[in-house]
Structure 1
């Protein structure tokens, strides 16, 4: 166990597939909404929201704060990761780091062999790199409110869960059957952000986003370019520490949720 923890600390950049660099590129290539929600929210009467609050299983959650709440939870988990590493270095206490590794990272071995099924979801709240956390937070803050405004709170939470779990399943199956490294874990909310951006691209395909914060293009073109890039990286085994297979899983989950749950209500 001691050797494993020392390996985790000293080689985290190469050992873990963190859904990281693609989301870093998201900040540079920018899924940035020019007029984030004003015009979009003005069309709420035609959106497929469920206005019957009695049928909303998540009515105890404040709709106005749900996106901020998700980012705060991600931030808390990020801080715990940092504290666990600092605690190991200063006090040689590995218990917290071991707990985080077991409960906030997802891998085939962890889910299938050790039955830690909950990591399919908890890994989506987990970031131990500041850039990774900030970029995912930026995308969530940009796309979360307009998606929530259109589909409603219950559907938004369902989309979050479906995208997170879809991302994790895609990652572990890819690592087990294609990359042949079933013990390689992953963390991050990038699958969730992919699910949201894909669904948004179906709802508002011709909204303009800025590639590299400079080049304007329809959002559906930008999202399609990212998915194509991820497919190339996954098929050619060029993921490195980028969880491209997980991104694809999140994107597929978002697309399926749109066609199976949202489109029929439009």
Structure 2
């Protein structure tokens, strides 16, 4: 997405960016047009390098632990399923509040991995900012509360807080279905 926007600025040709919006972002408009694949492809599209870096950093450390617990097939299923549910959660929320915005990024699916991990290994230590040790259940509970508040107050424009909330809930539900 970032590369596409820069190319559009240089060339003045909006067609590539329009194609990205149609095929790589989650939106009510895309679903109405039958582009259901965007429920998955939006999780592989990022608008900024920092956004991509933070998602992949978290995914690398937390995803590795969950992949070892579940095995590759079940891990991939969790990841793709939560990409879909978090995108749907974001679209539903945006529609509810009367916006037709587009969502993108892996955060919702990664938050599902975090939600699962907090249930499977609640005492695992997360290092917040690399220096503050916090048990997984407390860290993920804090992330969840922060995103619920952000969604309810609508105070984090450009951040898919509803996707984050839906992702964490999906990860918790996944754990409960498998292990409860």
TM range (shorter): over 0.9
TM value normalised by structure 1 = 0.65
| 1:163 pairs with 2:82 | yes
1:84–1:94 Cα contact (<8 Å) kept: no
1:107–1:184 Cα contact (<8 Å) kept: yes
**Higher RCO structure (Cα 8 Å, ≥6 apart):** 1
Unpaired stretches in structure 2, ≥5 consecutive residues: none
CA deviation map 1:145-194 (0-9, x unaligned): 111111111110110011101110100110111x211x211110000110
1:205–1:220 Cα contact (<8 Å) kept: yes
1:180 is matched with which residue? Answer: 98
2:107 is matched with which residue? Answer: 190
What secondary structure does 1:186 align onto?
Answer: coil
CA deviation map 1:190-218 (0-9, x unaligned): 00110001111111110111223222111
CA deviation map 1:240-261 (0-9, x unaligned): 111110101111111111111x
Structure-2 separation of matches of 1:85 and 1:236: 30
C-alpha RMSD of the superposition: 1.3
1:110 is matched with which residue? Answer: 30
Q: 2:124 aligns with which of 192, 200, 207?
A: 207
C-alpha deviation, 1:109, in angstroms? 2.2
What count of residue pairs does the alignment treat as equivalent? 180
1:175–1:184 Cα contact (<8 Å) kept: yes
1:227–1:248 Cα contact (<8 Å) kept: yes
What secondary structure does 2:126 align onto?
Answer: strand
| 1:149 pairs with 2:29 | no
What stretches of structure 1 move > 6 A for 4+ residues in a row?
Answer: none
2:124–2:136 Cα contact (<8 Å) kept: yes
Structure-1 separation of matches of 2:2 and 2:27: 21
Q: How does 1:1-266 map to 2 (within 5 A)?
A: 81-111=1-31, 113-177=32-96, 179-181=97-99, 183-260=100-177, 262-263=178-179
TM value normalised by structure 2 = 0.94
1:7 is matched with which residue? Answer: none
Q: In structure 2, do the counterparts of structure 1 residues 117 and 84 end up closer, same or farther at CA, with 3 Å as the change threshold?
A: same
